[in-house]
Amino acid sequence: MPGAQERVLRRRIKSVQATKKITRAMELIAASRIMRARARLESAIPYSHAVQNVLRGVMYESGNTATSEGSVLVCTIAADRGLCGGYNVSVLRATTHLLEEITGLSKQYKVVAVGKKAASFFKFSGQELTASFAGFSDKPSYEDATEIANPILELLDAGEIGEIDLVSTRFRSAGSQVVEVRKIFPVDTSVSHASGHDSGSAGSHSGQDPASGSDSGSSTALALNEWAEHSALEKARSGYLELEPEPDELLPIVIRRYVESELFTALLEAATSEHSARQRAMAAATENADELIKTLTRAVNRARQDAITTEIMEIVGGAEALRQASRAD
């Protein structure tokens, strides 16, 4: 029996060691992808802020004041794959809360799902989707953002929606990613000196931080603050910004570019957050595998010691029986 137990434990150790190799490899892959994703995100931030500021300037010059009449379109950005801790769960939970809030306000809503996890969640819950997209969560391109924006802008042009809410994960630092619900349309035309990328959005409904950490050292936040200090709207009010063609003709074009850039930046932030979450999850899984291997190794040693002790006791018992038999003879 002790020998059979030892064989079972050794098979478990081999299985855990194989799993540990996989989790370690996934951790290294995620770590290598974080830097590239973060570089792409920081490169896209200036363009995103520039489009936001130009849109404010165009809306100010045209006197256009967009209203939020009509249905609310909720765009949820999750991952195509799992094994990234609570990343997907946090996004979907925030989306569920938002839909409950919208329903409580007696408003209609439409849902666009980005990522296989989001699409499967809404399909399982019986939620009808306006559109769903998948296959690029780890490395999105601007063409992917354009593809997502097309049905949204069609609904906006048709007057079927009057508000666009985006549920995604904001990348603050390697240890901190915040799930945030923010309204990207209608755009607030007032001058904002708020720090961070929030200066470009009309408002934020809620947020939750699935990972602890401080964002004070985030280079992303610093880049956003730097661009927020140079508002094109202020330049427009001082006569610096010149628009051609006329603002009314230019406004639909700028709105399209604005929605695309907001979606693209959100996709990049979500991808960076996904890689960070996966790296932490796989690092934790690797550590757990190490602890489990140590525990199983101790159990194997105990089982082997028990087997040796049993064999010694059997030998000693047999020798004693032979001695007793020889004395009796």
- 27 occurs within a structural domain: no
| Residue ending a domain, choose from 275, 300, 317 | 275
Please check whether residues 13 and 71 belong to one and the same domain. Answer: no
> Where do the H-state alpha helices sit in the chain?
2-62, 87-104, 116-125, 142-157, 219-228, 232-237, 247-328
- Predicted confidence at residue 274, as pLDDT, reads 92
Please check whether residues 9 and 134 belong to one and the same domain. Answer: no
pLDDT of 1 higher than 90: no
- 75 occurs within a structural domain: yes
Cα angle value 238/244/245 (rounded, 5°) = 130
Beta bridge pairs of residue 233: none
- Please give the residue that has the higher pLDDT: either 115 or 53: 115
| Nearest CA-CA partner of 264 in 64, 108, 82, 45 | 45
> What CATH number is given to the structural domain containing 7?
1.10.287
Q: 202: Cβ–Cβ under 8 A, 6 or more apart, which residues?
A: 182, 183, 184, 185, 186, 187, 188
Please check whether residues 183 and 311 belong to one and the same domain. Answer: no
DSSP classification of residue 200: G
Q: How confident is the model at residue 196 (pLDDT cuts 50, 70, 90)?
A: very low
d(CA 137, CA 58): 32
pLDDT of 179 higher than 60: yes
Q: How confident is the model at residue 64 (pLDDT cuts 50, 70, 90)?
A: low
Please check whether residues 259 and 288 belong to one and the same domain. Answer: no
Lowest mean pLDDT among 51-55, 125-129, 214-218, 261-265: 214-218
Please check whether residues 307 and 262 belong to one and the same domain. Answer: no
For residues 288-317, give the mean pLDDT. 86
- The residue range of the domain holding 261 is 32-275
| Residue ending a domain, choose from 238, 254, 275 | 275
Please check whether residues 78 and 218 belong to one and the same domain. Answer: yes
- 111 occurs within a structural domain: yes
- 17 occurs within a structural domain: yes
Q: Kindly report the pTM of this predicted structure.
A: 0.77
- 119 occurs within a structural domain: yes
d(CA 221, CA 12): 46
| Total tally of structural domains belonging to the chain | 2
Please check whether residues 237 and 306 belong to one and the same domain. Answer: no
Query: Residue 143 in contact with residue 167, Cβ under 8 Å?
Result: no
What's the alpha-carbon Rg for the chain, to the nearest Å?
29
Residue type, 275: H
How many residues does this entry show for the chain?
A: 329
pLDDT of 84 higher than 80: yes
Please check whether residues 224 and 323 belong to one and the same domain. Answer: no
Q: Which helix (H) or strand (E) holds 73?
A: strand 71-77
| Nearest CA-CA partner of 149 in 224, 46, 77, 232 | 77
- 94 occurs within a structural domain: yes
Q: 276: Cβ–Cβ under 8 A, 6 or more apart, which residues?
A: 30, 34, 171, 174, 175, 177, 211
Task: Output b/e per residue, 261-291; b: 16+ Cβ within 10 A.
Answer: bbbbbbbbbbbbbbbbbbbbbbbebbeebee
Please check whether residues 17 and 47 belong to one and the same domain. Answer: no
> What CATH number is given to the structural domain containing 199?
3.40.1380.10
d(CA 9, CA 2): 11
Query: Residue 196 in contact with residue 265, Cβ under 8 Å?
Result: no
Lowest mean pLDDT among 201-210, 238-247, 289-298: 201-210
Tens digit of each residue's pLDDT (9 = 90 or more) over 27-59: 999 988 998 999 999 999 888 888 888 888 788
Q: How confident is the model at residue 227 (pLDDT cuts 50, 70, 90)?
A: very low
d(CA 223, CA 115): 28
pLDDT of 271 higher than 60: yes
The torsion angles phi and psi of 134, rounded to 5 degrees, stand at -160, 165
- 81 occurs within a structural domain: yes
Please check whether residues 224 and 122 belong to one and the same domain. Answer: yes
Helices 247-328 and 87-104, packing angle to 10 deg: 130
Please check whether residues 45 and 193 belong to one and the same domain. Answer: yes
Please give the mean pLDDT across all residues of the chain: 81
- Predicted confidence at residue 322, as pLDDT, reads 81
Q: How confident is the model at residue 66 (pLDDT cuts 50, 70, 90)?
A: low
Report the percentage of the chain scoring pLDDT > 90.
Answer: 43
- 116 occurs within a structural domain: yes
Please check whether residues 235 and 138 belong to one and the same domain. Answer: yes
Query: Residue 27 in contact with residue 288, Cβ under 8 Å?
Result: no
